[in-house]
Structure 1
Amino acid sequence: MKIGIKLIILFLIVALIPILTLSVIHYQNTEKQIIDQTFQRLNTSAILIESQIQSEIENHLLALDMFSTRVLLRTSLESHNNFENQKDADIMNLIIDDALLPNSNLDAIYITNNENKIVSSTERAVIGKNLIDVTLSEESIDSKKIHLILKHREYHKGPTVHVQLLSQLFSESGEKIGGVVMEFDASDVLLGNKNTGLGKTGEYVLAKKDRNGDALFITPLRFEPDAALKKTMSKDRTDMPIVQALLKNEQTFDNAIDYREKPVFAITRYFEDVDWGLVVKIDRDEALLPIENLRNITYFAIAITVIFAIIASVLFSKPISDSILRIRNAARSISKGNFSEELPSTGSDEIKDLSKDINEMAKELDNQRKSLIKSERMSAIGQTAARIAHDIKNPLTALNLSIELFMKKHKDEFDEKDQKQLKIITQSLFRINRQVNDVLDFVRNKPLTVTENKLNDLIKNSVNIIQKPEGITIDIPRNDFTIKCDSVKMESVFMNLLTNAIQSIGNKGKITINSFEKNNNIVLEFIDSGPGIPEDIMPHIFDPLFTTKFEGTGLGLVSCKNIIEQHKGTISIKNNPTTVTIQIPKS
């Protein structure tokens, strides 16, 4: 996968994770608030509806109780039962007509004897008929208990639901003498303001148990207006709130099924006096519609965010990916040995720093490669030079000894000219010997043989060995220190430095050697009165095989540097005046 695509994906992840997290949290909180608000609304409606129905029932029961306790009504019924005279029937008719007037929703009153025969009624045409035939009720008035019965009366104001309240009548002696039935229009209770405040799908539903124990709807349903006293729901459908209501379970349902088999939010109530169940409900889809709108807005916001994130990631990632690709290509080029590759210092600060580091790395690798090539060459040259130097060293030593013996044996026989020639031969052999030693010192990296030595003794030994013109003076340090060093190698360093100084001065001049202690180091300074070292040569002064002298090997100062570094010290050179500074640890 390309780096640009990876960066785009990274930007998208960084942008979307907080948005998605906040969206989910906001969605969940909003959903909870809406569900809570929905149940609050349903509960408020349930309380109002329950209160209204309970109040109507209590009012009807009160009216029935007040009517059935009238003394004149009971005495007239008792007399009519005994004598069946018209006067008692007329008195009862006047009483029930009088009771009908104040109750606008009271439709009919029936007075029956013990045989369920209607002896008085607001509907005079039914007098003399059996109560069951007239009221369509299958209930008989056979106890003191009040019954609430629902009937579907086709002949009165069309198909309407009526509530019939039944009560027994007793004489003053406590003997049952008949019964009374009061029939009320239940539209105010069951239909009035049915769906107020419940939206497009909300409604309240009342039901009672039929003979089989199933739920019989006693109110018209919002989506089935003709369902009252016709539609039933099996008692086995315990997943439906109306069945739970008739099971006396008053609770809330956040994902129940209604009579349409649709998921709803619902609250149930139970009326103990009449054995009715109440459900107040609303479709989940409608209740959660704000959530759907919020979800759509969230999807739109996420889509916009994704688009902007992609645009932003492309704009921001392209310079980064281009810089990374340039760095990758440069790294590949460097890995193939092209150390001249140089990255431009563009992009962010981090990219600039990385490009700078890679450029420096390439330069360092190039330097190391050159150094390695040079080292390999020097190794080959050194091995060859060591072999040649070794081959020269033996006859050179024999030649030196022979000349020395010859000069001692015939010293009285030489004239001034012969002595001058012999001196030239001796100096030439010394130079050859020195150059051979430079080569051997450079090639042989022998371990140090460290001993305690007096610094001035090492300097004096070196001065006594070298050859110097009579016009050059050498000042030995007044201070003396004891140092731990390899005396042979250290004298070789001093002789090299003194010889270089003499060659720089010529026939007349001065070499001053100072020594002192600084920062737990012994510092030596070799100061000569020569013309100094050209500035363009100074950076290469310690390079192997670098020399400006016809008779030099270019290995003297390199050997000095190696020996001093073996002693954990440092060596440096500066002009005005020409000063070679050596620092060696005191211990």
Structure 2
Amino acid sequence: MPGICLLDNYADGSYVYHMSSLSAKKLWWPYAGFLAVLFHLWLGFSLQRVVSSMLAEKADIFLASLASSTDQTLQASHYLEERIVITLKSIAAKIAAAPAELLTSEWLEQLRQQNDLKAISIYDAQGRVKFAHDPSLVGAAMPVEYDCHDVLDGKKNEHVFGFSEGVFCETDAFGISMRINNGDVLRLLTGVDFVLGFEKNAGLTSLIERFRKHPGVVRLDLVDNSGKSLLREAAASAPENGFAASRTFLLHDVPLGRFEVSLQDDALSDLQTTGFLAIFASCFFALFGLRLADNWLQRREERLEEMRQNAETQRRIEGLGRVVAAVAHEVRNPLNTLTLALNALRTDLTEDRPSSEIEPRLDLLDQTVMQANQMVKNLLQTSRPIIPQLADIALNDSLTAIADSFQNTFAGIKITLNADRAVRFLVDRDLLQRLLWNLLLNAQQAGADEIMIYAIPDDRGTIIEVSNNGPAIPDEVMANIFVPGNTSRPEGSGMGLYNCQRICAAHNGTIHALNGDGKTTFVMFFPADPRGKAL
């Protein structure tokens, strides 16, 4: 048995595809515009990342240079500890030489502020506080921190605490304790601020001031771990602006704070601004170009649609012309037969011939009238809806009756039938007979002498395949084979296959024509329930 090809209805399928393609064409430009906007946003973010990366690299180089210079500055200040101690001793000598009436908390507080000290306190021989810049902060007795009790106990006359082998202390405070002339013990306590203030003109503060003058530096500061500036208020820089970066400030591998810098590069800013303007312009022109392209495609589609409609109209007009010519030809034949039969009948009546001779002529007239009437019915059927009268029939019996009737009518035609005798079929019997008769007649008129009919039932419905060994259908005819008026025979009306398609559609089925393997095949599909939607 040959293979069965079950396809969707060409007309319906083509219509759905056409409408889907039109919808896709209408939607392409918003999607393309959205992608264009996303692409340009990505370009903008990429430009921002590049500029930020360049500024970060510049800030990193700047801070690395600052850290290197700081390290060199601090290494060059190896003698700073001795100078600091000398300064603290001079402050202590000033306090020791002060008259008793001058030793007040107010005077000590003033002296502390002038020298950036943290605390000034004087203790008696028992370690109790006698004088302090702020008694509430110092407490009532000498604390045990920094080993100052060695001076109090007489083991030392002075004790420097908090310093390492370098310039700064390893703790949060450092200073000196020493015994003064009256036997009391003086303790001066200071911190990093004191050192920074001490080396104002030659040390770290001066170095930072020089780095602040570099091009593009908006802000440069040295802050402690809490974010408070370690520089003098007079040396504090402007509020933060531009690209910010920071680097930890280490002394003897101990983090004392961090450098904070804000940079601004006019060249990079101009590059970024120009880049953003170029990206915006590119995005605008891309959207504008997409819109123009969409308008052009729409106009082109409208022109193509108009051309298709004109071609369809022309094709239908030509088909109608062929139908009219074929109908005129077909109608003229029975009219000629009627005329000849009537003239012969008139002659017979004039000559008083017997009724046995006249009766065949009357039968010919009756047959010719029936033929003309059937032709009129076919033409009327093309303009009327087909409403099938469904009945449950035995498919094999109906196909056998149609095949036998056709073989009796046309001698020399061999019809091979292959159908299951048990198959029941829900169909309009008369429409099925007309459908198959048209297909068989087409095969006979095309020159076929062998016709095969196969019936294959399945769960969805029934497939009927009619094949013949006649010549293949020309491609130009195959393209519009079910269009009314489309025929390859000069005397054909082109309405038979059109009505076949309408009969299949009335049963919610499909019909297709195929060429191949030396034969022409028509494949029909009838759903199990024609009253439902076609599968």
TM-score grouping bracket, smaller chain normalisation: 0.3 to 0.5
TM-score normalised by the chain length of structure 2: 0.47
Give the structure-1-normalised TM-score.
0.44
Larger Rg: 1
Higher RCO, Cα 8 Å, sep 6+: 2
